[in-house]
Amino acid sequence: MGTCTMDDDVLMEVTRGDRIESSHRGAVAVIDADGAIVFETGNIDIPVFPRSAVKAIQALPLLETGAADQVGLTDAELALACASHSGEPDHATAAASMLRKAGRDSSCLECGSHWPLGVDAAHALAASGERPSALHNNCSGKHAGFVCTACVIGVDPEGYVGPNHLVMRAVTAALAEVTGTVLDAADHATDGCSIPAYAIPLRSLALGFARFGTGHGFGPARATAAQRIRAAVAAHPFMVAGTGRFDTELMTAFGARAFVKTGAEGVYCAALPDLGLGLAVKCDDGAGRAAQVVTATLVRHFLRPEDEPAASVLDRLARPELRNWNGTRVGEMRGTGPLLQLRDATVRR
């Protein structure tokens, strides 16, 4: 393969037969809620776009404003508000239900439409003769949550994706406070679903998720909101991703012990509440496959599976087999480089 396999920051390699076919570099921060580093590799102080990995933090105002309770969102709907979902029927239905509870419909979603991320869901939609709507957008739950918040605090939802809309200001403030960063409304890019995208160092993202997982450093309202979101996602892991998706499989296996969330372009953020740890991963090349294997490798190191099914799920996610169209095993993906030194990473107790 190419030119980087011996390099220090290669975190994941893809094999074919006995050779390394491709390799992925990146950076990782594992930090406790006091900011103490448990494991790091690569540069964790360069700002990166967390993208959808911070949806759970962006959902805090939905609870802190009382909007979730006032419109009567279920736990499944709370989980959807943190989702990058596959656009399966249950996802689209729940997004529509959230909007209905706010007295609105999908016409006020500003995320845009795309075919369901789930291939089977996309084919089923095509077979039904329907076209995708904004409800199928993987961010529709997050956006429905923004609409619920706007309606309850009494502002027009229109334009909620703008950085200066009252709802988006609350969302950005929550992200800044939880990660301990300054997010300048003038210094943002635009995300796939049109909300502002702010770049944040992995060190701050990991700290934010350590806090999100423990409530450490939060006021009572925020600590309760974070706890409710974690519990809702642990109870409904299907709603945050979908059939066969990494996040759903891992959280189905580990319940409340692991909160993991994918972001586009090779980002993962996670909280391991029992251990008081936050994790943040960025693969330089933006590859989701690499971020998943790295995240599963980290979770496998820090969390002991409680049963055989959980252990086998984690082994499969951390070292996936690659099979071709005839089902023949052609290679695998596996963590490497600095991840092989994880054994030296110890958690302060």
Binding site for its own copies (CB under 8 A): 1-4, 9, 14, 16-19, 21-27, 42-43, 46-49, 110-115, 119, 122-124, 126-127, 129, 137, 188-194, 197, 199, 265-266, 282-287, 290, 324-328, 330-331
Number of helical H runs and strand E runs in the chain = 14, 12
Judged by CB, which is closer to its own copies: 65, or 140?
140
**Residue 144 DSSP code:** H
Q: Judging by DSSP bridges, how do beta strands 329-335 and 19-32 pair with one another? A: unpaired
φ and ψ of 40, to 5 deg? -150, 150
Nearer to its own copies, 65 or 179 (CB): 179
Residue closer to its own copies, measured from CB, 22 or 262: 22
**Which H/E stretch holds residue 71?**
helix 67-71
Which of 221, 286, 288 has its CA nearest to residue 62?
221
CB of 251 to its own copies, least distance (A): 26
Q: How far is the CB of 164 from its own copies (least distance, A)?
A: 17
Q: Which residues of 75-86 are buried (b: 16+ CB within 10 A; e: fewer)?
A: bbbbbbbbbbbb
Least distance to its own copies from the beta carbon of 45, Å?
10
- Smallest gap from Cβ 339 to its own copies, in A, equals 15
Q: Determine if residue 172 is left, alpha or beta; phi over 0 gives left, psi from -120 to 50 gives alpha, anything else beta.
A: alpha
Closer residue to its own copies (CB): 4 or 231 = 4
DSSP secondary structure of 89-127 = HHHHHHHHHHHHHTT--GGG--S-----SSHHHHHHHHH
User: From the CB of 91, what's the least distance to its own copies, in Å?
Assistant: 16
CB of 100 to its own copies, least distance (A): 22
Spatial CB neighbours of 39, under 8 Å, sequence gap ≥ 6: 28, 29, 30, 298, 342, 345
Q: How far is the CB of 15 from its own copies (least distance, A)?
A: 9
Indicate the residue among 128 and 346 with the shorter CB distance to its own copies: 128
Rounded to whole angstroms, how far apart are CA atoms 176 and 326? 49
We find the least distance from the C-beta atom of residue 85 to its own copies, in angstroms, to be 14
Output the CA torsion sign for 262, 263, 265, 269: negative
- Residue among 171 and 233 whose Cβ is closer to its own copies: 171
